[in-house]
Amino acid sequence: MPDVRRNEELESPVPPSVPVDVAASHFEAARERVRSLLATLPTPLGPDEIPNGHVRQHLTDAASTASDGLDEARTARTELVALRELRSAREHARYAAAGWSVADRGRTDAPFREEHSQTVLAAREAMQAHEYVGTDPVRAALVHARIETALQRANETDGRPRADSELLAVAEWGERAESAQAYLDDARHLGSQFEAALPDDSGTLEPVLTAGAQTLLAAVRDRREDLPPEGTAGDRTPGRMVLEDLRWEAENGTSGLSEAIGPASAVVDATGRLARFRALERMETRREAGELARPTDAAAVRDIRRTARDALTAALESSAPRELVRTVLVDAGYEVMSADRYLSEHRGEVSASALDRSVAGYWHATALARAAPPAARQAVQALQSD
């Protein structure tokens, strides 16, 4: 399988995206924030500045990761991935800068804790004031789901730092404060960009999203009740692995709207779970037809892999709402990436069973990709039922 790249080069075939244009000024503000934080560090950071080698390595690694994140954001395949890379870069840069401020100026965690508390408060206020504006319920669900998730992450209040030194504990508080602010910044920007692109007379779609979410979640509950009994324990063939993984993903998740972050996230999550129920049905049918036997040669594995990647492409080109389908295909793409990673660990002749995890991943991706378009169409129908 020489066409499978090595681990360090692997990436998901389908990166996540959001149907909103991110302003160049927002990206530049995030880059400048990273650069300004890194500029507070002495270069290089040596033993004269931080005598403790363990602590120094943590700060050096964080600064290096932040710098690499700037490059990763420039080459990101979607704007949403670029936002993620810059957010991570901000977090690592603040970690390093906050840690250095302890050694340089004797700062404590107090100002960072206060900063974090203020950002959490602002995020809670933003969640309460959030309006589900829009004209197209599908596009609105996708955008508002991203905003809901970002606001939830900005609102998170973790426990005590995990660091084993006072300096690194302060660094963690700096990272935590920066992370919350970065999520809040992104949520606000996505919301303002989305609203700016709407007609002036656009109203709220919250009732539509709520009704659609309730319809989809009811369908999820019905599907869950109709699941057949689980298979025999101890069966670790590739086919059984896929069935167990899909079943777990379909069963576990939000059961009602009150458990969801918000109605938009409920719509997107329920769509993904319905796709998994469909994928599970597809795999059960294949199992009953005897189509899930372990492949015995490399040519068969290569065909299974090619089929998975072709299924991703076909789903993206289907007539179903592409961006909604994409939310499911992102996970299917990760299955392919993971399967490629397992496969790339082998060279030369190996036993057929050594590739079980890769084969299971490709089958998983194929079933999920083929289930994505009909699940997306079901979601559209639920959103348009009024």
pLDDT by residue (tens digit) across 164-202? Answer: 899 999 999 999 999 999 999 999 999 999 999 999 989
Query: Minimal CA–CA distance to 168: which of 228, 112, 242?
Result: 112
Confidence of residue 233 (pLDDT cuts 50, 70, 90): low
Confidence of residue 229 (pLDDT cuts 50, 70, 90): confident
Query: Minimal CA–CA distance to 319: which of 378, 374, 384?
Result: 374
Mean pLDDT across the stretch 282-300?
Answer: 93
Q: What is the pLDDT of residues 58-88, one digit of tens each?
A: 999 999 999 999 999 999 999 999 999 999 9
How much is the pLDDT for 227?
A: 83
Mean pLDDT across the stretch 10-24?
Answer: 93
- Angle formed at CA 154 by CA 150 and CA 159, multiple of 5 degrees: 135
Q: How far apart are CA 122 and CA 188, in angstroms?
A: 11
Q: Is the dihedral of CA 67, 70, 75, 81 positive or negative?
A: positive
Q: Is the dihedral of CA 73, 77, 80, 85 positive or negative?
A: negative
How much is the pLDDT for 11?
A: 82
How much is the pLDDT for 112?
A: 97
Q: Which two tokens stand for residue 31?
A: 């880059």
Q: Which two tokens stand for residue 232?
A: 């025999």
pLDDT at 8 over 70: no
pLDDT at 7 over 60: no
Q: How far apart are CA 145 and CA 272, in angstroms?
A: 13
How much is the pLDDT for 115?
A: 97
User: Looking at the whole model, is its pTM more than 0.85?
Assistant: yes
DSSP β-bridge partners for residue 133: 204
Mean pLDDT across the chain, nearest whole number?
93
How much is the pLDDT for 376?
A: 98
Residue with tokens 């084969």: 359
Most distant CA pair in the chain: distance in Å? Answer: 70
How much is the pLDDT for 328?
A: 96
In this prediction, what percent of the chain has a pLDDT beyond 90?
Answer: 84
Residue 300: CB atoms within 10 A of its CB come to 15
The DSSP line for 115-166 is HHHHHHHHHHHHHHH---B-SSHHHHHHHHHHHHHHHHHHT----S---SSH
Region of 68 (left: φ > 0; alpha: ψ -120 to 50; beta: rest) is alpha
How much is the pLDDT for 250?
A: 92
The DSSP line for 277-343 is HHHHHHHHHHHHTT--PPP-SHHHHHHHHHHHHHHHHHHHTSSS-HHHHHHHHHHHHHHHHHHHHHH
pLDDT at 25 over 70: yes
pLDDT at 264 over 60: yes
- Main-chain dihedrals φ then ψ at residue 204, nearest 5 degrees: -85, 145
How much is the pLDDT for 252?
A: 87
Query: Minimal CA–CA distance to 382: which of 253, 250, 247, 220?
Result: 220
Q: How far apart are CA 112 and CA 118, in angstroms?
A: 10
What SS3 state is found at 6? coil
Query: Minimal CA–CA distance to 28: which of 91, 89, 95, 86?
Result: 86
Helix axes 53-74, 24-38, angle to 10 degrees: 160
Helix axes 206-225, 238-251, angle to 10 degrees: 130
Mean pLDDT across the stretch 255-267?
Answer: 93
How much is the pLDDT for 234?
A: 63
Confidence of residue 10 (pLDDT cuts 50, 70, 90): confident
The answer to whether the CB of 109 falls within 8 A of the CB of 184 is: no
Q: What is the pLDDT of residues 324-368, one digit of tens each?
A: 999 999 999 999 999 999 988 888 888 999 999 999 999 999 999
Q: Which two tokens stand for residue 339?
A: 């399967």
